[in-house]
A and B are shown apart, each in its own frame.
Chain A
Amino acid sequence: MTTPTDDQRRVRVVLVDDHRMFRTGVQAEIGATEETGVEVVGEAADVDQAVAVVTATRPEVVLLDVHLPGGGGVEVLRRCAALSADPDRPVRFLALSVSDAAEDVIGVIRGGARGYVTKTITGPDLVNSIFRVREGDAVFSPRLAGFVLDAFASTDAPPVDEDLDRLTQREREVLRLIARGYAYKEIAKQLFISVKTVESHVSAVLRKLQLSNRHELTRWATARRLV
């Protein structure tokens, strides 16, 4: 990397949403590359288009709508799994949806998205989230943190539990603060840890949510009549 600063400041993004109006709006909000550093390199309106565009452009971050014609965001994630697993130039997915229903949120996170924000997010926050996801960190909206806490609430076990599926006390604390609307920086200040540590806690939560605790999640979802 000869020009690390320049590389750090630019992020290539693909927009996936079936509403042209919405894509235009997001483009207008974040697409001014000189100011925000976000370069929108492609757009797609359904699953097939999305897979084609993402494969062709290899963006760093994909802003993915949850409800799409052709199978939804989860389908895109499934068909792009190889791209997002690429160790050299991974494609990260950030779900951007109008829905904050639990089944949508948990569905795409388990599908492999690195974060979930709702469409009420402001432009600067969205840009911020895109950069954070590019770095491999997780972005949780307060609501999402609430869902995760809810999902793991039934396993309120001691933190010394050997079961890796459980959230540690610290991770739970971090999630609580996110759910209370704290920014990562504020959480770090509150808990006397570094921002990096906060981010690694959040990533750990994401990993657990994605890969494990199927049993608890199923039970949780069944109790809420989601499945």
Chain B
Amino acid sequence: MEQLRMKISKILILFALLTITACDGLFDYSPYVIDYSGQNKSVNQKNIKKLFSQKIDDTTIIALTGDTHRFYDETVDFVKAVNKKSSVDLVIHVGDITDFGLPKQYEWANSILLKLSSPYFVVVGNHDLVGNGSTAYKEMFGAFNYSFIYDSLKFIFVNTNSREFKFSGNVPDINWLEAQLQPNDNFTNAVVIFHVPPMDGDFNSSLEQAFHNTLTRYNNVLFATHGHLHHYEIYKPYNDSISYINVYGVEHRKFNIIKITNNKFEIETCEF
């Protein structure tokens, strides 16, 4: 009996060691574990740093995508297509980088976007906030609302996923947006990026007018861009000066390039 027990113990120890070595990374503790490190942390800050290290010329070129959800293969092809264009200054993802808001989906999507040669910025989408997705977003990318100035252009990313916050009245944060748009010497125009457009049912309807009024207040918004609806359209929903650009969902295998020169923009569609 004693001998047998020794034998079993030895086999088990060996077996456990083998499993642990062979399966490192395969041991999953929960679908909601968030343990980001390295390239999966402070992604926005890292990309801002990367953006600022680029040489500035008279044209800013932006590649736009969004609603990548579970379209991983399409996202891979999008990255390849954008990398082929040498002059893209930055890539903007208009939200829903995940489908179920799972921490792993954040990692999978980011592992693909990390292959972009250009710096990339992701605004939070409604799907990204399901489960503990809001914590995952903050851990991986940073604050929901953020902005930076590049080449006298202010890029403002704002969380408009009102429904995910039970239409609490704080989303979108109008005061924050207003403060961001207040003119100063550092920027001439602004580009405002969000996921849910203001006329959508997932946007807090009591904030719709205030939101749009804020965008028009200083007459310095070059255009607003959003996702959520998966199709491309450039339109002026409030019949005023502000153009809204609805961005292709990546599954269409199309994306838009926006070229900004002298406070004017032109837009082209690329297929991949």
A is bound by B: no
Chain A residues close to B by CB (< 8 Å): none
Q: Which residues of B contact A (CB under 8 A)?
A: none
